[in-house]
Amino acid sequence: MVVGRFISQVYQRWYEQRKTQYFKQKIAHYLQDGRKPWSPGYQEFKWQFIEQAIADSNIIKCFGDNLDLPPNYGQFLDERVVEYPWLMSRLCSEDIAGHFLDAGSSLNYRCLVEHPRLAQHHLYCVTLAPEANCFWQQGVSYVYTDLRDLPFQDEFFEGVASISTLEHIGMDNKMLYTSETNYQENKPQDYLVAVKELKRVLKKGHKCFITLPFGRYQYDVFQQQFDRTMLEQVKQTFAPTHYQETFFQYNREGWFISTREDCQDCEYFNFHKTKYCDPDSSRDYDPDLAAAARSVVALEMIK
């Protein structure tokens, strides 16, 4: 047993070193090739950026205090570069450790589950189907189910987060997230059913964190972009005792703090509709090299 564990640890160190070399090569290729979203090396560069951002106390302070982000922050990168630091800025290291729900499994990455502000909690990742990432050794629990019918008792969690997930509820999740045909749906109002469930399983006086693509309403089969009316429906359905919304907007220079008014006409860039994914399409990248959402709203709500 001891020898086996030692060999496993040696292999893990070797694998991490090889992975680092591989990532460096991919990132170098991405930088040399014009930094186009979703091109080879994009994911590696993005996750390197996210790891550095959530480990930087100055960046976390910017998000926590709604201060201006550094110039060219997250240029040519998707909304995860603002969603994750925003969430970490809201999770206090002084919080009492408890059960924490990741509704949608958007936090199921090593740099996130091992972040001190999240690692103090018992994390439950809830999603439709198993994923390649698995951190049970860090105490993460995995539950494969529908967010519209959570298998938890009332007020089970001390914290809830749903990062860019509600826009997929009731949509065609078979397209990207599961092979089960019963999730090939067209029920665009079902995100409100999920909101009710998130509130039900959250303890009174505790926080729910939600991020959503925001702007002009868009229906893209596997997701929808929220507009002002839908955002108000989320707020009314949850009926929080405390509510705070923060808007982040993207342009060619990167991400920055914005307002509801300035974001309300933003359009989502759907990479799946470009010539790189759809052989019948002639669409290329837009001039601003947006990767996905051009605006997101981040909600902090207390039950």
Q: Report the distance separating Cα 168 and Cα 183, nearest Å.
A: 10
d(CA 202, CA 155): 4
* Dihedral sign of CA atoms 21, 23, 26, 28 in order: negative
pTM: 0.92
Q: Are 227 and 297 in contact (CB under 8 A)?
A: no
Q: Contact, 47 vs 22, CB < 8 A?
A: no
- Euclidean distance between the first and the last CA atom of the chain, given in angstroms as a whole number: 47
Assigned token pair, 23: 């990532």
d(CA 219, CA 302): 29
Residue 277 · residue 37 · CB < 8 Å:
no
pLDDT in tens, the chain (303 residues): 333 333 444 444 554 556 688 888 889 999 999 999 999 999 999 999 999 999 999 999 999 999 999 999 999 999 999 999 999 999 976 566 799 999 999 999 999 999 999 999 999 999 998 888 889 888 999 999 999 999 999 999 999 999 999 999 998 877 667 677 777 888 899 999 999 999 999 999 999 999 999 999 999 988 999 999 999 999 999 999 999 999 999 999 999 999 999 999 999 999 999 999 999 999 999 999 999 999 999 999 999
Q: Would you say 294 and 266 are in contact if contact means Cβ atoms under 8 Å apart? A: yes
- Do 209 and 160 meet the contact criterion of CB atoms below 8 Å apart? yes
Cα separation, 118 vs 123, in Å, equals 8
Please, what are the domains in the chain? 86-302 (3.40.50.150)
